[in-house]
Amino acid sequence: MKAETKLAEPQLQVPFHSADVGEAEAQAAADVIRSGWLTMGARTIEFERQFAEYVGAKHAIAVNSCTAALHLALEAIHLQQGDEVLVPTTTFTATGEVVTYFGAKPVLVDVEPDTLLMSVADAAARITPKTKAIIPVHYGGQPCDMDEILALAAKHNIHVIEDAAHSLPASYKGRPVGCISEITAFSFYATKTLSTGEGGMITTGNDDLAARMRIMRLHGIGRDAWKRYSAEGSWYYEVLDAGFKYNLTDIAAAIGLVQLGKCDDMNVRRAAVVQRYNDAFASMNELQVPTTKPDRQSAWHLYPLRFHLDRIKIDRKEVICQLKDRGIGTSVHFIPLHLHPYYQSAYGYRRGDLPAAEREYERYVSLPLFPGMTYEQIDHVIHSVKQIVKANRR
């Protein structure tokens, strides 16, 4: 007779991310499809209007990614071949990649070990006569030291372009991210705090930069190119420059409008998850919860939990494996850019060049963090992390 196998309890699954989208987004997208006008049009214009109002910016320009937004921003400030742009090494490659589009050099900057935000002192030390711009990344959703960055930029006459892919909604000394510096770039990628699948937004208070980015977003065609197939449009248009195909679709914009309407609520729910994580982990000697500065509010895109590796017997890779065994998805934000083969071969970066970023990279794991997380899921993550730590104490 076959031995009876005991069925294991079904494992509770906690994905790393799940977008907070539902019937309202589906309905909004369906309405656009039924209207027969699929690409950039009235919904996109309305999304731009409401987004500008939400972050307190004069202009908002919708694009199909944050990468496109950053590219258009660097084009608008006339980045040239041979120029240098300061970029934190702890970021996604998009931040550095856009600089290379111009034959310019991304000059990688170390981060503050506590916040993991770009070190302004290290940025200052890397400024040369070729430095044209600085791209602070509001890592994890927390705004960078913007007063210091703006002062540094003013002193050296360089442009500030914020990579705000993580930071909607976030604020610095009471000012929303999106109206602080010359140009800000947002992402609506699938995992970001506001998602349209793919998408992005540029905000600026500068009329000339806005006009340039609007034109270059759609083939370099003069004003209101998108209207040329509508009833009020005309067949005549002028190509003013060799632009790009970076416009957003009305389907995405319709989803974005619904998401924007619940952005504050989603932020409250993310913050509640963070609070529960912090309450559980802050007292454990093996763990380090994210550092937040009192003068700013984070969008809480990420929850990077750091492990004191000298106090446990396993490394970060093993922590990730053991969480996976418990049905928990995690990620690592980020592998510093200077450790990637491309940045090493193209710009000569080596391990050891940016020590704080490297040290911290070895010991952070991003835990699941999304508005729809249930208490059961949050507590499963907490319980699992604690179990793994306790079983591997030195």
Ligand X SMILES: *Cc1c(COP(=O)(O)O)cnc(C)c1O
* 293 classed as catalytic: no
Residue 339: strand, helix, or coil: helix
- Taking the C-alpha atoms of residue 216 and residue 70, their distance in angstroms, rounded to an integer, is 12
Catalytic one among 192, 227, 262, 390? 192
CB neighbours of 89 closer than 8 A, spacing ≥ 6? 108, 109, 110, 111, 336, 337, 338, 354, 357
State the first-to-last Cα distance of the chain, in angstroms, to the nearest integer: 45
Q: Does 163 bind ligand X (CB under 6 A)?
A: yes
Our finding on whether 330 is near ligand X (CB under 6 A) is no
User: Which of these segments, 87-95, 125-133, 208-216, 222-230, binds ligand X (CB under 6 A)?
Assistant: 87-95
- Which residues, including other chains, have CB under 8 Å from residue 391's CB and lie 6 or more apart? none
Is cis: bond before 88, omega within 30 of 0? Answer: no
Nearer to ligand X by Cβ, of 270 and 380: the residue is 270
Site for ligand X in 43-72 (CB under 6 A): 65-67
What per-residue string of b and e applies to 48-74 under the rule 16 or more CB within 10 Å gives b? beebbebbebebbbbbbbbbbbbbbbb
> Nearest approach, Cβ of 137 to ligand X (angstroms)?
5
Side by side, the strands of the sheet bearing 296-297 are 175-176, 171-172, 296-297
Q: Based on CB atoms, which residue is closest to ligand X, 200 or 205?
A: 200
Query: Closest approach of Cβ 165 to ligand X, in Å?
Result: 3
For ligand X, give the closer residue by CB, 66 or 85. 66
Contacting ligand X within 91-120 (CB under 6 A): 91-92, 94-95
Binding mask 185-204 for ligand X (x = CB under 6 A): --x-x----------x----
For residue 264, the 8-state DSSP code is H
Q: Is 142 among the residues that bind ligand X (CB under 6 A)?
A: no
Residues 55, 137, 319, 323: which binds ligand X (CB under 6 A)? Answer: 137
CB of 231 to ligand X, least distance (A): 32
Six-digit token string for 329 = 């998805």
Active site residues: 192
- Which parts of this chain interact with ligand X (CB under 6 A)? 65-67, 91-92, 94-95, 137, 163, 165-166, 187, 189, 200
